[in-house]
């Protein structure tokens, strides 16, 4: 767990490609008991990665790219534009091989997959959280309203913080989730923040996932 971090590099991390569908399925089951007619905001078309050149351009580090940070577990995430300031817990895999989500009992809680890339490291780090629970909105209820250029700060247990700039927000169907596009190594430190999204039914839950694409622009 992050609270026990002693500064050492963890064992070899699992490749994201093997985890994409596991994570997607788990996140698609999060909604319970809320009014579907009052659903969370969905990404605006202006926030989408709307061309192949834009996606490919995101793979090229900007000349002013900051130096990646070493490994350290994530401790807190802040998204000031949607008023999120939430602690992060480490999440792993359950006995059936599913990625665990943070406890739905605490709506203001995010989860970082502890065997993945640390925020600020070279590669793609992933943070997940509930959109709502049986009582009402949860930590990432407004995630779909983020816009390009807005900032996400992730504090770490080494006392450092990684600051990311949003360059895309999209919703993907759980039936056709583009794992390589979402989790692929862009050649620089990247962050994905994911919650449920798309259509909703009581029988099947949410039909997709909202995915925020961001890249490192500063460290503290």
**pLDDT, tens only, 15-54:** 444 444 444 444 444 444 444 456 788 887 777 775 444 5
The helix or strand, by DSSP H or E, that contains position 55, with its residue range, turns out to be helix 52-57
Torsion from C-alpha of 184, 185, 191, 192, nearest 10 degrees: 0
Residue 202 in any domain: the answer is yes
Alpha helices in 68-178 (DSSP H): none
Residue 35 in any domain: the answer is yes
Residue 177 in any domain: the answer is yes
Q: What is the pLDDT of residues 155-181, one digit of tens each?
A: 999 999 999 999 999 999 888 888 888
Kindly report the pTM of this predicted structure: 0.82
Residue 6 in any domain: the answer is no
Residue 4 in any domain: the answer is no
Report the CATH number that the domain containing residue 111 is assigned in CATH: 2.40.260.10
Domain of residue 160 covers: 12-219
Q: Rounded to the nearest 5°, which phi and psi values hold at 167?
A: -125, 5
Res 180: pLDDT: 84
Torsion from C-alpha of 20, 66, 165, 15, nearest 10 degrees: 0
Helix (H, G, I), strand (E, B) or coil at 157: coil
Q: Is 173:108 a contact under the CB 8 Å cutoff?
A: no
Confidence band, pLDDT 50/70/90 cuts, at residue 213: very high
Name the least confident of 63-67, 189-193, 198-202.
Answer: 63-67
Q: Which residues on neighbouring strands pair with residue 166, listed in sequence order?
A: 214
Indicate the number of domains in the chain: 1
Residue 1 in any domain: the answer is no
């Amino acid at each position: 767990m992050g609270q026990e971090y002693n500064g050492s590099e963890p064992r070899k991390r699992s490749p994201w490609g093997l985890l994409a569908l596991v994570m997607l399925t788990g996140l698609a089951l999060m909604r319970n008991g809320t009014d579907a007619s009052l659903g969370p905001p969905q990404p605006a078309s202006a926030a989408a990665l709307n061309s192949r050149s834009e996606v490919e351009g995101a793979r090229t580090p900007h000349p002013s790219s900051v130096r990646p940070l070493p490994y350290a577990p994530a401790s807190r995430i802040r998204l000031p534009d949607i008023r999120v300031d939430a602690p992060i817990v480490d999440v792993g895999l359950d006995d059936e091989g599913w990625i665990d989500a943070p406890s739905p009992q605490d709506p203001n809680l995010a989860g970082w997959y502890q065997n993945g890339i640390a925020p600020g490291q070279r590669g793609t780090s992933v943070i997940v959280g509930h959109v709502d629970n049986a009582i009402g909105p949860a930590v990432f209820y407004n995630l779909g309203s983020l816009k390009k250029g807005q900032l996400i700060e992730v504090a770490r247990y080494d006392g450092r913080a990684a600051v990311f700039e949003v360059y895309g927000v999209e919703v993907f169907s759980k039936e056709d989730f583009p794992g390589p596009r979402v989790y692929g190594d862009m050649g620089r430190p990247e962050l994905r923040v994911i919650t449920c999204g798309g259509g909703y039914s009581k029988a099947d839950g949410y039909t997709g996932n909202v995915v925020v694409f961001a890249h490192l622009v500063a460290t503290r």
